[in-house]
Amino acid sequence: MENVKIHTNFGEHLRTLRENAGLTLREVASTISVDSSLLAKIERNQRPPTKQLIKNLASFFHANEKELLTEFLSDQIAYKILDEDGDLNILKVAEEKVSYLKTLHNGNDYDKK
C-alpha cells in the first residue's frame, strides 16, 4: 500500500537521484566541488557526507534537505545498533530520553534533578 521507499539508505538514495537526472559522478562532483572518487564512495556508503555536502546535494537535485539528512542520520544509528548487538530496545530507550530531554524546554539546567 505504502509507496514510501523504506529500506534504502543514504548512498542508494543519492545514486538514484543522480541516475534519475542522467548525470555522471564526475558531472555532479565537479559542479558541487567535491572529488568524484569521494562522491562515489559516499554513494556506496563507504564515506560519510558532510552536512554541507548534504546541503549542496539537496539543492543541486532539488531534493528535501531535511529528508536527506534524516536518511543519513538514521543510517548511522542503524549501523551502529547492528554492529553493537542489534537490540532494538536501545532505540526505545533512546527515544524516551530524547522525548524527556526535549520537555526540558531548552532549559539549560542539565544535571539538575
DSSP per-residue letters across the chain:
------S--HHHHHHHHHHHTT--HHHHHHHTT--HHHHHHHHTTSSPPPHHHHHHHHHHHT--HHHHHHHHHHHHHHHHHHHHT--THHHHHHHHHHHHHHHSTT----S--
Binding partner of residue 89 among a second copy, DNA, none, CB cut-off 5 to 8 Å per kind: a second copy
| 24 is a site residue for DNA (CB under 7 A) | yes
Q: Out of 36, 58, 63, 90, which residue is the one contacting DNA (CB under 7 A)?
A: 36
Q: Out of 3, 99, 109, 112, which residue is the one contacting a second copy (CB under 8 A)?
A: 99
| C-alpha closest to that of 23 among 6, 3, 43, 4 | 43
Q: Which three cell numbers stand for residue 38?
A: 569521494
Using CB under 7 A, which of the segments 30-38, 60-68, 78-86, 102-110 binds DNA? 30-38
Using CB under 8 A, which of the segments 16-24, 26-34, 54-62, 98-106 binds a second copy? 98-106
| 43 is a site residue for a second copy (CB under 8 A) | no
| 97 is a site residue for DNA (CB under 7 A) | no
Report the interface residues with DNA, using CB under 7 A. Answer: 24-27, 34-38, 40-41, 43-44, 47-48, 50
